[in-house]
Amino acid sequence: MSLLIKNGLIVTSDTQYKADIYVEQEKIKAIGVNLNFKAEEVIDASGKYILPGAIDSHTHLCMPYMGTYAKDDYKTGSIAAACGGVTCILDFNTQRNGETLYEALERKKSLAKGNTAVDFSLHPSITEPKDKIIKEIKTAITDYGTPSFKVYMTYDFRVDDSVILKLLAETKKYGGMLQVHAENFNIIEYFNNTFEKQKKLSIPYHPKSRPNIAEAEALSRVAKLAEITGGNLYIVHLSSKEGLEEVKRAKDKGVNIIAETCPQYLILDESRYFEPEFNGAKYVMSPPLRDKQSGEALWEGIRSGYISTIGTDHCPFDFNGIKDMFGKNDYRKIPNGAPGIETLMMLIHSEGVAKGKITLQQMVKILSVNTAKIFGLKNKGSICPGKDADIVIFNPKIKFNISYKKLHMNVDYNPYEGFDIIGMPETVYVRGKKAAQFKNDRVEFVGEIGRGRFIKREPSF
Ligand code: URP
Ligand code: ZN
Ligand code: ZN
pLDDT in tens, 256-275: 999 999 999 999 999 999 99
* Helix, strand, coil percentages, rounded to 5, for the chain: 35, 25, 40
Residues around ligand 2, an ion, CB closer than 5 A:
181
Q: How far is the CA of 152 from the centre of ligand 1 (A)?
A: 10
Alpha helices in 305-388, H assignment, sequence order: 324-326, 344-347, 360-364, 370-374
Pocket test for ligand 1, best of 239, 314, 336, 411 (most atoms within 8 A of CB): 336
Q: Are residues 135 and 181 in the same domain?
A: yes
pLDDT over threshold 90, residue 328 = no
pTM of the shown model: 0.98
Same domain, 403 and 370: no
Q: What pLDDT score was predicted for residue 213?
A: 98
Mean per-residue pLDDT over the chain, rounded? 98
Pocket flag, ligand 1, residue 286 (CB < 6 Å): yes
Which residue owns the Cα nearest ligand 1 atom 9? 313
Whether ligand 1 lies within 6 angstroms of the CB of 179 is answered as no
Distance 442 CA to ligand 1 centre (A): 28
- On whether both 36 and 175 belong to a single domain, the answer is no
Nearest to 172 by CA among 220, 132, 225: 225
CA distances in angstroms from 356 to 200, 252, 351, 423, listed in the order given: 40, 27, 8, 14
The one-character DSSP state at 15 is -
pLDDT at 1: 85
Pairing of strands 177-181, 233-238: parallel
**Residue with CA closest to ligand 1 atom 8:** 286
Residue 371 identity: T
Same domain, 342 and 388: no
pLDDT tens-digit readout, 409-423: 999 999 999 999 999
324 contacts 389 by C-beta, under 8 angstroms: no
Sign, CA dihedral 146-176-180-294, equals negative
What is the CATH number for 343? 3.20.20.140
Q: Are residues 119 and 156 in the same domain?
A: yes
Please give the tally of structural domains in the chain. Answer: 2
Does 456 fall in a domain? no
Task: Specify whether the CB–CB gap between 147 and 175 falls below 8 A.
Answer: yes
Mean pLDDT on 93-107: 97
Query: What's the gap in Å between 165 CA and the centre of ligand 1?
Result: 23
| Assigned domain for 461 exists | no
Residues 355 and 265 in one domain: yes
What is the structure's pLDDT at 327? 86
Q: How far is the CA of 399 from the centre of ligand 2 (A)?
A: 32
Last residue of one domain, picked from the residues 374, 401, 423? 374
How far, in Å, CA of 83 to CA of 80, rounded?
Answer: 5
Predicted local distance difference test score (pLDDT) of residue 389: 98
239 shares its domain with 154:
yes
Query: Residue 349's domain spans which residues?
Result: 53-374
Pairing of strands 177-181, 442-445: unpaired
Sign of the Cα pseudo-torsion (114, 118, 121, 125, in order): negative
- Residue 285 domain-assigned (yes or no): yes
Q: Which of 334, 355, 374 is the last residue of a domain?
A: 374
CB contact at 8 A, 445 and 407: no
Instruction: Identify the pLDDT of residue 104.
Output: 98
Q: What is the pLDDT of residues 235-249, one digit of tens each?
A: 999 999 999 999 999
* Residues 415 and 268: beta-carbon distance below 8 Å: yes
Average pLDDT of the segment spanning 424-435:
98
Kindly state the average pLDDT of the residues 387-393: 99
